[in-house]
Chains A and B, each alone.
Chain A
Amino acid sequence: MRPFSFESVTTANDAIAAGASGDGGMEFLAGGTTLIDLMKLDVMRPTRVVDINALARTELGRIDVQRQGLRLGALVRMAEAAEHADINTVYPAVAQSLRLAASQQIRNMASLAGNVLQRTRCPYFRDVSYEQCNKREPGSGCAALDGINRSHAVLGTSDQCIASYPGDFAQALIALGAIVDIAGPRGMRDIPFAALHRKPGDAPDIETTLQSGEMITAFFIPAALWTRRSVFLKIRDRESYEFALASAVVALDLEEDKVRDVRIALGGVATIPWRATAAEAVLKGKVLSARSKRAAADAAFADAHAHEHNAFKIELGKRTLIRALDQAAAMEI
């Protein structure tokens, strides 16, 4: 950990002012489960840490279930949202994605915005003794390409980076068409969640579209016919406390056995939170059958690109999606 100055802010204005100071080495500290971890590993080296946890007592810490949708303050802790009764009933995939992530201790600490912004678990990114990592050191290369890449992505990769996005909650947000509220030195704005993360492309070091000094203040999930029939399915080697090998969020609006509308997101297999629009298109208006489900799964992974150890994720991802479709269809609502 490099030396840093530490300050706690008690008003959102002060937080934004800290962001506005133009200090490129500034990081906001919320739960710390990513930041402190990566600072100890020397991967993140802020010179100024601004603790925003006190803001949890403002709007930023509030859960609001409204008729138009679900508003989640950025500093709501994962555990609180995961246990929220209305979220479990009306947005089950949201609750499940939070409950199946990490451990209760981490869920008590981690904020929702921090969860969404967590960094990849790529071991070559997390260990500064590897010289090659384009995400850490632009232009240095990618050790994962010819290294151990079982956990890496098959969707959204580039020849610069194949690190997978590790989070679960983001899959629920992207599937359900969430909107992100952002505050920063230049004011407030909101963007579709799908516009928050950037594919690695030729700049894997730039992971989001957040500008310097900006902070997420809330997520808004619009109410929709499909949210109640939504599931998050996570496949992993052990039963708990592990990142996904593959995951899927499916939200279904069924008319009898016909798909009126569907939202699909995939996790563990992609470089960013991944909405599978091609799979959605295959299913819209169709009856859910073995054939249509398989066709949707094939469409979801049509552009997949595997490396030495992660080829299985293509088939696993497809089967995970099919299982999630089955689970959603079988839900009693």
Chain B
Amino acid sequence: MAQANAAAPAPKANMGQPVPRYDARLKVTGGARYPSDVAVNNPAFAFLVTSAIAKGRIMRLDLLEARAVRGVLDILTHEDTSDLKAGKFEGGASTSIDKLGPDIFHDGQIIAMVLADTYEAAREAAYKVRTTYAPVNPSASFDADGIEVEDATKVSARHKEMPRKGDAEAALATADVVIDAHYATPTQHHNPIELFSTTCVWTDYQLTIHEPSQFVYGLKAGVAQRLGIDADKVRVISQFVGGAFGSKGSMTPRTALVALAARKLNRPVKLVATRDQGFTIATYRAETRHHIRLGAQSDGKIMAYSHEGFEVSSRPDPYVVAGVEESAHLYDFGAVQTKVNIVRADRNTPGFMRSPPVVPYIYALESAMDELASNLKIDPVELRRINDTATDPIEGKPYSSRSLMRCYDEAADAFGWQQRSPASGSMRDGDWLIGWGCASAVYPTHVGVATARIRLLANGQVRVQTAAHEIGNGIYTILAQLAAERLGVPMSAVTVEVGDSMLPPAPVAGGSNTSASTCSAVLKACDAIREKLFRAVSTINTVGGKSVVSEPTLRDGKVVASDGMAETFSDVFKRIGASALEEYAEYVPPGVKAEAVAQLYAGTSTQTGGPHGQYLMYAQGAEFVEVRIHAHTREIRVPRIVGAFAGGRIMNPRTARSQYMGGMIWGISSALHEATEIDRNRARYVNDNLADYLIPVNADIQQLEVILVPEEDQMVNPAGVKGIGELANVGTAAAIANAVYHATGQRVRELPIRLEKLLV
């Protein structure tokens, strides 16, 4: 039994129990099988060869020396892989750049795959592949010659219109104060600790893929399409994912390649890509720039918000996150004008990375809010209060629930914000300058089409099946909790199966929709079972020989009437003449067409929510940080951070707190550490390893407090759940930047904030 501790907060209103994780024992014993752990019979080992240039053409691939390596079975190049069909960008594939050449679109593009009897031989041979290129000068990013800038609404299939209301220019012209500032965020890579791996096994024309995935149905459909085979012939298994953060949501080029190789060799093939290859064979968070203008009255009321964003993408794929679609709803802005541009460069295609739209855009907005507060000499918390709103500033729709200021007040209180001395540079402890800052966190509440199958046995054993994804989100745990609670059995009686495309489909584990969607489906299936039990009882109209009064419930493996009369499941089952009750349920959110279920089976996940429904649906929070900056050498540390978050119903305060905590640490990381360095002349990633791409270590995180703010929301979905996995890493970077300003008087408008920016 877990003892009381900070990791298991006592539930407040509308929160479940903080039970330990369903999969905890497996995870602490090495028993959890991540896809590359799965044993397959006599695998061949694959090693990728990737491009050393960012743009140009392969003129010659000399494989002689590589093929001569003892143990090498085959080497696949663009000449052997022309049978593979192109993946569909934004149709399940992360990129349209999926050929092994001869044309090179980015650094680290896969150009060959070596197959050998041993990993050691495959790696040796990969280094012996000699490539002759005809290179072309690449455009690395912003400011490079040859980049193309386009209005996102003209080229993106997903973003056709950007928020706009009133005449922002006119409002800016008449505002008492205008903040006009530019912000920038760097390229960042997810870097889950689990490497990208794929193992493919063919048996009788059936393909089984073991690959860490945030969407097993999508991957199944995508690989089938690329191989030109029936999707029914493909099974994807991904029972544990060793961190994903968006990087394992879409199909990347390697999967079909490994499948093809395994078919060609007639032998299982196992690929575990190296850490540096992970930087170029999957996606990343794009580099962005922002121009924000905020106009306000002298009393703090904002009159106009203008935000123009620029996002780097690859040449062929118009990936864009367009976070103004979220930021434009955050405050009562008055007039709003927004625009987003795509900057095409010679890069791999970016993609979803934890809270894709809001992280860069809210960083910029929340930084500007702090600039406005200090310009007006208004407390930053009060500035948010002055501009708080219960309705959409764009369309006037109501929020389904909004607890932003409650989060601010609880976090401010816990942090001791009242003791803050407002002037920058006014707080100090010996050689350390102290700064306090805060910012808002916000994330749209998404809910998707989901299905689930539940089986209840007469002995009270329950099995929950849905092809959801355990990426550290605790989905095994909360589904077990939910089913146990709903069916009146202990959690130990529940078995949960996820991460397998043989199970009923669940949506992509993206957009923090997993709990809302799968819980809604599981609830529906459980309720169907309850209904059958109740009907069985009410048909006889007796429980234990007495009349059923009303409102039965399920408790301790029994059907219990409100008067306390009870009958065991096995007795009820006997009466029905069944040994098991099994229910399959499809959950389709309001406003989504019924055919979305069939589409989910076919590998397309449909989600709604955020600004798109009848209500504005958002989870919100507030974060307060203390930074310490050495007065001389200027290194920056975060000794203290407090976050308060409201996310609707909290299924499990333990897993919720951990997700928030991890998010806040991500926020610290993005503020101070993370940046993929790109060599501007060569358009190549330089720090593509975990020694040079910095993420926090244990010693970087000291006091961290998470406050779960109770919130009830009947509108969002039947489970009342808002997505929380991507809430807490939003705004943190702005809070830290604001704290750095408070400590030093220096406004750093470009992330990450490294000591050289303060060494003045």
Contact = CB atoms under 8 A, between A and B. Distances in A.
A121 B124 CA distance: 22
Contacts of A51: none
Nearest to A102: B691
A243 interface: yes
A148 B124 CA distance: 28
A245 B52 contact: no
A143 B276 contact: no
A54 interface: no
A2 B124 contact: yes
Interface string B633-661: 11101000000000000000000000000
A40 B123 contact: yes
A119 B633 CA distance: 26
Contacts of A146: 681
Contacts of B755: 235, 237, 245, 312, 316
Given A121-B692, A147-B679, A147-B682, A320 B633 contact: yes
A320 B635 CA distance: 11
A169 B635 CA distance: 22
| Residue among B633, B684, B692, B756 with most chain A CB within 10 A | B633
A305 interface: no
B31 interface: no
Contact of A147 (B637, B686, B697, B754): B686
B404 interface: no
Contacts of B694: 237-238, 242
Contacts of B677: 148, 150
Contacts of A245: 755
A235 B682 CA distance: 30
A148 B127 contact: no
Interface string B268-291: 000000001000000000000000
B696 interface: yes
Contacts of B684: 130
A143 B637 CA distance: 32
A11 to B, nearest CB: 30
Contact of B120 (A1, A237, A319): A1
A308 to B, nearest CB: 9
Contacts of B754: 237
B699 A239 contact: yes
Nearest to B51: A129
Given A147-B681, A235-B755, A243 B691 contact: yes
Contacts of B120: 1
B484 interface: no
A249 to B, nearest CB: 15
B1 to A, nearest CB: 32
A6 interface: no
Interface residues of B, number: 35
Interface string B620-632: 0000000000001
Contacts of A148: 677-679, 686-687
Interface in B681-740: 681-682, 684, 686-688, 691-692, 694, 696-700
A147 B700 CA distance: 29
Interface in A1-57: 1-3, 40, 42
Contacts of A237: 635, 672-673, 694, 754-755
Contacts of A319: 632-634, 759
A236 interface: yes
Interface in B236-282: 276
A316 B687 CA distance: 22
Given A123-B692, A237-B754, A319-B632, A42 B127 contact: yes
A128 interface: yes
Contacts of B692: 121, 123, 151
A143 B635 contact: no
A256 to B, nearest CB: 24
Nearest to B698: A240
A67 B362 CA distance: 63
Nearest to B756: A312
Interface string A126-158: 011111000000000001001110110000000
A128 B52 CA distance: 9
Given A147-B679, A239-B637, A316-B756, A129 B52 contact: yes
B673 A238 contact: yes
Given A147-B686, A322-B632, A312 B123 contact: no
Given A239-B697, A241-B697, A143 B682 contact: yes
Contacts of B700: 238-240
Contacts of B697: 238-242
B695 to A, nearest CB: 8
A71 interface: no
A83 interface: no
Nearest to B119: A1
B276 A127 contact: yes
Interface in A295-333: 312, 315-316, 319-320, 322-323
A130 B754 CA distance: 27
B754 to A, nearest CB: 6
Contact of A3 (B50, B124, B673): B124
Nearest to A132: B682
B699 A240 contact: yes
Contacts of B634: 316, 319
Nearest to B754: A237
Interface string B75-119: 000000000000000000000000000000000000000000000
Interface in A144-183: 146-148, 150-151
Contacts of A315: 759
Interface in A95-128: 121, 123-124, 127-128
22 contacts: A1-B120, A1-B124, A2-B124, A121-B691, A130-B684, A131-B52, A147-B679, A147-B686, A148-B686, A150-B677, A235-B755, A237-B672, A237-B755, A238-B694, A238-B696, A238-B697, A240-B699, A242-B694, A319-B632, A319-B634, A319-B759, A322-B632
Given A123-B686, A124-B686, A148-B677, 17 more contacts: A42-B127, A121-B692, A131-B52, A146-B681, A148-B678, A150-B677, A237-B673, A238-B673, A239-B699, A239-B700, A240-B699, A245-B755, A316-B633, A316-B759, A319-B632, A319-B633, A319-B634
Interface of B: 50, 52, 120, 123-124, 127, 276, 632-635, 637, 672-673, 677-679, 681-682, 684, 686-688, 691-692, 694, 696-700, 754-756, 759
- A-B pairs, top 10 by smallest CB distance, nearest first, are A312-B756, A129-B52, A239-B699, A240-B699, A148-B686, A42-B127, A147-B679, A148-B677, A319-B632, A123-B686
